[in-house]
Amino acid sequence: MKTDMASRARTGPPDLWDPVVRITHWGLAVIVILNALITDGGSTLHVWLGWIGMALLLLRLVWGLLGPVEARFSAFPPGLRQAVSHLRALATGRRVGHYPSHNPAGALMIYAFWASLAVVTCTGLVLTGGATPMQVAADKAAVASGDWSALAREEADGGEDGGAFRKQVEEVHELVADLILILAVLHVAGVAVESRAMRRNLVAPMLAGLRRSRGK
């Protein structure tokens, strides 16, 4: 194990991330874009994507304990000081080290993503009352057919205090959803800057190809 870690530390991140890391990464990216910019909040599709996103997030967290070395939490612990040092080195053109997994700045961004996704997921569950996508679709179909009982039950259960709480949860949900978009933009910018500074393609290993260094 120590020998394997030392070898990876010299050569940098894997040339190809394992399938679970790649599927959860791109799956969550697509879901964030769709739910933040395209779907209507509370719609059946929005709820479906939220549940799928929750499953992908849970899978990635479990994989952080059981997956290969570079996918585990122990390979990229969060550290603000290390992240700032790494970014300062990139900004000043100094040589940065290779890491067996994500670099310190990338690791900090990943944990921020996961925490934000967890908040969005939990607040989304509160807003829907934990209803499954099938239940949401059934309620909407009932309302569309003239049966307003589901909507009436929701309003009765909420009450005045419940309505105020729901409003607060909705505000947190929307605020953190916007934060995730900001983090995504910073993440893309960071990948582009580091790929250029270190003369290597950081996107290819997360797709399906080998990391290739660019010539000077």
Question: For the chain, which residues make up each domain, given as ranges?
Answer: 11-75+87-206
Contact by Cβ (8 Å): 194, 90: yes
Contact by Cβ (8 Å): 210, 16: yes
pLDDT digits (tens, 9 = 90+) for 5-43: 444 444 466 778 999 999 999 999 999 999 999 999 889
CB atoms within 10 A of CB 65: 10
For the chain, percent of residues with pLDDT exceeding 70: 80
Torsion of CA 18, 65, 132, 110, to 10 degrees: -70
Residue 213 has pLDDT above 60, yes or no: no
Classify residue 42 as left (phi > 0), alpha (psi -120 to 50) or beta.
left
pLDDT of residue 76: 92
pLDDT of residue 53: 97
pLDDT of residue 112: 96
Please compute the mean of the pLDDT values over residues 119-146 and round it to a whole number.
Answer: 84
Query: Cα–Cα distance between 170 and 174 in angstroms, integer?
Result: 6
Residue 2 has pLDDT above 70, yes or no: no
Report which of residues 200 and 146 the model is more confident about. 200
What is the residue whose two structure tokens read 């995504």? 184
